Amino acid sequence: MSAPFGRRLCEVAANKTSGGYRIFSLLDREGPAPDPGQFYMLASERSWGEGGGRPYLPRAISVAETAPAKAGLRLDFLVEGVGPGTDRLCELKPGEGVWVAGPLGNSFSTPKEVNPDAAGAILVGGGIGIAPMAIWRRHLVERGIPLRVLLGFRNQEHSGGLNELFCAGDTLCPDVRLATEDGHTGHQGYVTDLLATMLAGDDATSAVVYSCGPPAMLEAVRALCAENDVACELALESPMACGFGACFGCAVPKPDGGYMRLCVDGPVVRGDAIAEVAHA
Amino acid sequence: MPDFCGIALAHPVINASGTYDAIAARKVFGDALLEEFPFSAFVSKTITPEPRIGNAPQRIWETPAGMINSIGLPNKGLEGFLEQDLPQLAELPVPLIVSVMATGRAEFAKLVEAVAGRDEVAGIELNVSCPNVHSGLIVGEQPTETEALLETLRPLTEKPLIVKLTPNVANPEAVALAAEEGGADAVSLINTLKASAIDPGTGAPALAAGHGGLSGPAVRPVALHQLRTVRAAVELPLIGMGGVSSGADAAEFLVAGATLVAVGTESFRDPQAGARIAKELETGVYGARSGVAALDLE
């Protein structure tokens, strides 16, 4: 389904702290429900570009969850303030306006769409990249598809969203395993340690891996899946000015040469459709 | 209704080349794009004789009130454009202007002949000013080169030939004059300004190409000044662009002597910016405030 043409003003319904992150909700009265993996271009109505400063360009943010709302759809976004744009989004106040374009980009494929023999899904999220894993997890659960969720964080300061996105009541959902580099909760180490162990097991070869997170983690996920002959879909991130194919800024190298535009050819890409996930 | 080189347009706002992919936008937004098309004419992304994949990422960098880009003119080449893109662009509800660029006069001539020969094409913009490709800089920086190029291309078509000027010269009016002498029908300006940024995280140049072109509101006063300078030097119709984000911005360029205004970077922020700016011009909301309410757009 096409996104509504142009951008529209949505009202901030809520914005709260979640660990080291913020979760804010917008009330969207016009757009179709997004598919898991899709993103929106967001810019606050005020204090964004006017006055000659930054932020200037809208920011591409994956949707973390949706829910029916009075006269529309509630869109939830998980953000961490890492620059002028995300800092501004973290400060959104209920009632103020946000310019929204989307839903944009493609979305995750079901395990059987990726591999007809696939029996289940393994979701691997890192840091702020747990966001699209949340909405995808819910969709998979609703379809009765078996899944495991592996989530990793650097440390307590750079973590959040679990209570709102991966808990039933006060308890972490039973399909979710955690890894933290500082060991403050869950396995001490990388989330990809958990994935490596899981892929070494017999039942994992019939799973499809879905992942979103920092580039180094995504590259590790891609390489692990390639080694174990397991298909994967990765939700990538790239600098992006427009989100609808106009700016050609979000180039990602393809294995056979040339580039794809992540906004219209992604943000979800098959592990074997890219050369590697570029990371510092 | 503005008349631009004999082409009647519904309003004076078009897009800047390379800032709107109407084919991709139609896939994203559906046929609503055609029903509410934001521009009164559509300028294609620049095509070159052979396909180009474009520059390695990182390609864009946000700056105060703007951005730097070094995209590198990715395109399907002449053959791919004619076969794959042109039929789709022909479905747009507005006249089509095709932007072309080549490394030499013979290649430029090949492009112009092939493109001008198609009924779907209303006009041709000559990209002699793109700062990302070395050859473009040379022609657009030299009045003699520009005039010689026009003298080669002018006999090939009666369709409007628009020369897009680079702002990265001391005297853009000299190049505009050369374009006029060579037989150009119009001049468009400005292309992006040469610019660099350092990534504070790495201490290295932010863009993989090392540098790029600055666009957005940050460049608007520079663009407006160059337009006024060129206006004083030539008789040709002008397309003014550079950071136009509102009707008030567009009015500045029209008052300074542009026939049309092109919108580029603002479309990244607002896919319907062209239509919004055209409406703001028409209703004069901003014009009244800025003292150009009497602007006659007919």
Chains A, B: CB contacts within 8 A come to 132
Mean per-residue pLDDT of chain A: 94
pLDDT number for residue B293: 46
Determine the residue among A57, A86, A240 to mutate to test chain B binding: the one whose Cβ has the most chain B Cβ atoms within 10 Å.
A57
**Residue B294, in any domain of the structure:** no
> What is the number of helices (H) and of strands (E) in chain A?
7, 18
What stretch(es) of chain A map to CATH 2.40.30.10? 8-104
Determine the residue among B268, B270, B272, B277 to mutate to test chain A binding: the one whose Cβ has the most chain A Cβ atoms within 10 Å.
B268
Q: How far A121 CA sits from the closest chain B CA (Å)?
A: 28
What is the chain A residue with the closest CA to B52? Answer: A258
pLDDT in tens, A54-104: 899 999 999 999 999 988 999 999 999 999 999 999 999 999 999 999 999
Distance CA A86, CA B147 (A): 49
Bin B54: left if φ > 0, else alpha if -120 < ψ < 50, else beta: left
Number of domains in chain B: 1
Q: How far A58 CA sits from the closest chain B CA (Å)?
A: 6
pTM of the model: 0.91
> Given the DSSP bridges, would you call strands A21-28 and A72-79 parallel, antiparallel or unpaired?
antiparallel
Across the interface, of A43, A241, A258, the residue whose CB is closest to B67 is A241
**Residue B295, in any domain of the structure:** no
Spell out which chain A residues touch chain B, with contact meaning CB-CB distance below 8 angstroms. Answer: 2-7, 43, 49, 52-58, 85, 99, 101, 104, 238-242, 244-253, 257-259, 261, 264, 278, 280
Say yes or no for a CB contact (<8 Å) between A5 and B272.
Answer: yes
Catalytic site includes residue B130:
yes
Here the tokens at position A85 are 């744009």
The pLDDT averaged over each successive group of 10 residues in chain B (298 residues) is 93 97 97 97 97 96 96 97 98 98 91 97 89 56 92 97 95 97 97 96 95 96 97 98 96 96 97 97 64 47
Say yes or no for a CB contact (<8 Å) between A246 and B65.
Answer: no
Say yes or no for a CB contact (<8 Å) between B271 and A6.
Answer: yes
Across the interface, of A238, A244, A245, the residue whose CB is closest to B57 is A238
Say yes or no for a CB contact (<8 Å) between A5 and B21.
Answer: no
Across the interface, of B28, B36, B61, the residue whose CB is closest to A264 is B28
Q: What is the value of ipTM here, to two decimals?
A: 0.87
Distance CA B269, CA A85 (A): 13
- Active-site choice (B14, B100, B130, B258): B130
Say yes or no for a CB contact (<8 Å) between B67 and A101.
Answer: no
Determine the residue among B269, B270, B272, B277 to mutate to test chain A binding: the one whose Cβ has the most chain A Cβ atoms within 10 Å.
B269
Share of chain A above pLDDT 70, in %: 99
Chain B residue numbers touching A238 (CB-CB < 8 A)? 57
Q: Which domain holds residue B230?
A: 3-289
**Residue B297, in any domain of the structure:** no
**Residue B298, in any domain of the structure:** no
Among A11, A46, A4, A3, residue whose Cα is nearest residue A28: A11
Distance CA B126, CA B108 (A): 9
pLDDT in tens, A262-276: 999 999 999 999 888
pLDDT number for residue B295: 52
Chain A residue numbers touching B268 (CB-CB < 8 A)? 57-58, 241-242, 246-247
Q: Which of A107-111, A162-166, A167-171 has the lowest mean pLDDT?
A: A167-171
Higher per-residue pLDDT: A182 or B288: A182
Say yes or no for a CB contact (<8 Å) between A247 and B55.
Answer: no
Buried b (16+ CB within 10 A) or exposed e, B49-77: beebebbebbbbbbbbbbbbbbbbbbbbe
Say yes or no for a CB contact (<8 Å) between A245 and B21.
Answer: yes
pLDDT number for residue B132: 40
Q: What is the CATH number of the domain that holds B63?
A: 3.20.20.70
Q: Does domain A8-104 have CATH number 1.10.3210.10?
A: no
Q: Are B79 and B278 in contact (CB under 8 A)?
A: no
Say yes or no for a CB contact (<8 Å) between A278 and B57.
Answer: yes
| CB neighbour class for A207 (10 Å; exposed up to 12, middle 13-18, buried from 19) | buried
**Residue B46, in any domain of the structure:** yes
DSSP H helices, A153-212, are 162-165, 191-200
Across the interface, of A3, A85, A252, the residue whose CB is closest to B28 is A3
Chain B residue numbers touching A258 (CB-CB < 8 A)? 53
Say yes or no for a CB contact (<8 Å) between A259 and B58.
Answer: no
> What is the 8-class DSSP label of residue A162?
H
pLDDT in tens, B163-181: 999 999 999 999 999 999 9
Spell out which chain B residues touch chain A, with contact meaning CB-CB distance below 8 angstroms. Answer: 18-21, 23-25, 27-30, 32-33, 36, 53-67, 69, 71, 74, 202, 216-218, 265, 267-272
**Residue B175, in any domain of the structure:** yes
Chain B residue numbers touching A247 (CB-CB < 8 A)? 19, 60, 69, 71, 268
Say yes or no for a CB contact (<8 Å) between B271 and A43.
Answer: no
Chain A residue numbers touching B33 (CB-CB < 8 A)? 5
Q: Are B165 and B189 in contact (CB under 8 A)?
A: yes
Say yes or no for a CB contact (<8 Å) between A239 and B27.
Answer: no
Say yes or no for a CB contact (<8 Å) between A49 and B269.
Answer: yes
Note the Cα B144 to chain centre separation in Å: 22
| CB neighbour class for B120 (10 Å; exposed up to 12, middle 13-18, buried from 19) | middle
**Residue B296, in any domain of the structure:** no
> Given the DSSP bridges, would you call strands A65-69 and A72-79 parallel, antiparallel or unpaired?
antiparallel
Among B39, B21, B19, residue whose Cα is nearest residue B261: B39
What's the CATH number for A111-273?
A: 3.40.50.80
